[in-house]
Amino acid sequence: MPNGVRHVVGVIVGVIALPTVYYGLTIGTDELARGLLNDAETPRLISVLFLVATGVALALLTSWQWLSGLAPLLAGLPLLGLGALWAFQPRIALDIGTILQLPGQPRFGSTAGASGLYLVAGVLLLFAAIFPSRWRARERHIPAHAQTPGQHARDPFAPASSFEPARPFEPARPFEAPRPFEPPAPASPAASTPTSTPSSAPSSAPSSTPSSEQPEKQEGAGSLFQPNPNNTGSMPTIPAPLPKRRPQPPPS
């Protein structure tokens, strides 16, 4: 999903999560205090439900890495400011609680504000919003078996700065056909003509290379695509063409 869409979704979730966390903490703590003072089970059961729902909302805002950092930021800043007012200016905070008061809830928000729950929730949400992974788009990890030849396997547990950029795809080299064998070099006349030995040499000395071995050497030196002119015995003879017959005129 694009990074801009993540931020838009984060703004929507943050706007919805702010009243959810505020009223969940306020009603939950007020009903819990009322149930303890009056020794009633119904207010205590309602307070437990509101506090559990608020805890789930806070857990999603702080631990969901896909969610943009705008969601915990928009929900945490007002709660942090309200908690600071309850700590330093309780009269102003009490007036704000009266404005946001629901019907049938006396002294709305005094229990959560005096106990510091607004301040704790605001710090928790702001701490979850400062992580860089909440603001940048997550890189998609490609498995090793699904990668192209120009890519390398990445370690999913390594930091983002240590990832090597993918190399561009190198096309394969064109296939080169094998070259034919080169024709043999012509033999020199001195090599084909037997040299005579001087008369003073002993008769036991070997004479020049026999002529019978020379055709055998020349047979193997021929090219693969050229016929050997010395090998006349293996070449087939072509018969003489037959004379053409002239057509005879028809009998009269």
3-class SS shares of the chain: helix, strand, coil, % to 5: 50, 0, 50
What's the pLDDT score for residue 18? 94
What's the pLDDT score for residue 10? 87
What's the pLDDT score for residue 205? 45
Cα–Cα distance list, 114 to 46, 85, 107 (Å) = 20, 10, 11
Size of the chain in residues? 252
Domain boundaries, the chain: 3-133
Cβ-count burial of 69 within 10 angstroms (0-12 exposed, 13-18 middle, 19+ buried)?
Answer: buried
Give one word for 61, left, alpha or beta, with left for phi > 0 and alpha for psi -120 to 50.
Answer: alpha
What's the pLDDT score for residue 92? 92
How far apart, in whole angstroms, are the C-alpha atoms of residue 199 and residue 99? Answer: 139
3-state secondary structure (DSSP) of residue 183? coil
What's the pLDDT score for residue 219? 46
How far apart, in whole angstroms, are the C-alpha atoms of residue 225 and residue 84? Answer: 97
CA nearest neighbour of 19 among 60, 79, 96? 79
What's the pLDDT score for residue 209? 46
- What is the crossing angle of helices 41-63 and 3-38, to 10°? 160
- What DSSP assignment string belongs to 51-110? HHHHHHHHHHHHH-TTS-THHHHHHHHHHHHHHHHHHH-HHHHHHHHHHTPPTT-TTTTH
Handedness of CA 6, 11, 13, 18 (dihedral sign): positive
Full pLDDT tens readout for the chain, 252 residues: 677 888 888 899 999 999 999 999 999 998 888 888 777 777 788 889 999 999 999 999 998 888 888 999 999 999 999 999 999 999 999 889 888 887 766 667 788 888 899 999 999 999 999 888 777 766 555 555 555 555 555 555 555 555 555 666 667 677 666 666 656 666 655 555 555 444 444 444 444 444 444 444 444 444 454 555 555 555 556 777 777 777 777 776
